[in-house]
Structure formats: structure tokens, C-alpha cells
Amino acid sequence: MSTYTQQRTRIKICGLTREQDVDAAVAAGADAVGFVLYPPSPRYVTPQRAAELARRLPPFVTPVLLFVNANATDVIAACADIPCATVQFHGDETPEQCFAATARGKRPFLRAARIPLDDSGSFDLVKFASDYAKSQAILLDAHVEGFGGGGKTFNWSRLPPSVNSHLVLSGGLTPANVTDGILQVRPRALSLSVDVSSGVEISKGIKDAEKIHQFVAAVRAADAQLAKSHHVQLPAA
């Protein structure tokens, strides 16, 4: 088992629809911003609007395009206007479909895993991560009606103790609970990032700049706590 090495938790602010929210996420220090290209979502933006918003981003802030069961042609077309985008698959996409929609793996992608909200459901995250080994990371979200954006947290303690994958913690995160989420989940993965949407909103698709700053501060507080905990160790790669 390898010794703990300090890593900065990377942050994605998702479901952006307005210029001022993109600017607020960048100003707060977000590493990535997400645009929802799933028409039923209240946070939906068109591919053209996503491209327009993405053009505001400075270097080294990654745009992420979220799709739910879209066909490969539509995914590839949307990505053509945002060359540096990462793709997030949030539906029932198979490994083969993810591979095809990212131009045979040429574009990095995240695959969302829908974790049961209660103890009655089972989910084999280790197998899921293995099945989607070509993904850049596995995003952990609560299994709710529809796809994503439910603002629900799942029981973090039920996750496997060791997952040989980079993970992104999502699902009901807020400035109040993200520190605890990082402390619980970070030791279980190769690395951990966090993804927030409803937890920094005034209403669906409308972000609050102050909440975004509070969320980032809470993430940095978790990083500081982990840096002091020398006994924390990473699972072997």
C-alpha cells in the first residue's frame, strides 16, 4: 500500500446557463464547468449556447458537456464546437457507446455511476469502474428518478474501501457537507474530484456566486485536513 500523498481536490461547477455564473466559477477557482446538453433538464443549454459560454473560459479550466443517452453523431457534433471539452455520460451508455461517441476514445470522458440512495439497493462500483476502464474517471451520483440533478446524497460509507479508479463525488453536495464527503471518499480512490450543481444554486440553472465561493473554501478546508492526517493512505495503484 502506498503512502498518502497530498493532492488538491479538483472542482467542477455543473449546470451553468449564464455568463455571470461561468465567470463566478472561474473567479472562485473551479477547475471545470459543466453544461447540460440533455433537453428534459431545467439546466439544459443548446450545443451552440454551451460553445458560447465555453469561449469565456481562460486556459486550464475545462468545459464538460453532459449527455444522457444521446447518439454518437450528436455528441461528436456538439464537441466539434468545443475542441477542448470533456464528455460526461450520465445515462445508460455502454462502454462501447462511450467509446464510439468520443471518436473511439480520442476525447476524454467521465461515466456517471448511479449509486442507490438506501441500503436496499446494491451496486458493484469496482465492476462498474472496470467495465468503464477507458473513462478518465467514474462520477458518483445518487440514483434518483430521471437522470442527475436530484440534489440527493447517497451513503458514502457504503462505497468500497478501495477502487482502482479516479472518482468524482457528486449528488447533493453543498458547502456544508462537501468537506465530510471528501474526508470519507478520498482514501478509497486513486484521486477524488467533486462536482456540484444544485448545492450552489438560487434556482435550477441559476447559480449563487457566494455559494460557489463557500463551496470552494469548504473543499480547500478538506484538503488542509487531509494534509495534516499523515496516517491516511491511498489504495495501491
- Spatial separation of the C-alpha atoms in residues 16 and 108, rounded to whole Å: 20
Give the E-state strand segments of the chain in sequence order. Answer: 10-13, 32-36, 62-67, 86-89, 109-115, 137-142, 163-169, 189-196, 201-203, 206-207
**Residues designated catalytic:** 14, 141
**154 phi-psi bin (left φ>0, alpha ψ -120 to 50, beta other):** beta
Instruction: Return the sign of the alpha-carbon dihedral for residues 122, 139, 89, 172.
Output: positive
- Parallel, antiparallel, or unpaired for β 62-67 and 137-142? unpaired
Cell 488538491, residue located: 8
- Spatial separation of the C-alpha atoms in residues 43 and 146, rounded to whole Å: 14
86 within 8 A of 110, measured Cβ to Cβ: yes
31 within 8 A of 194, measured Cβ to Cβ: no
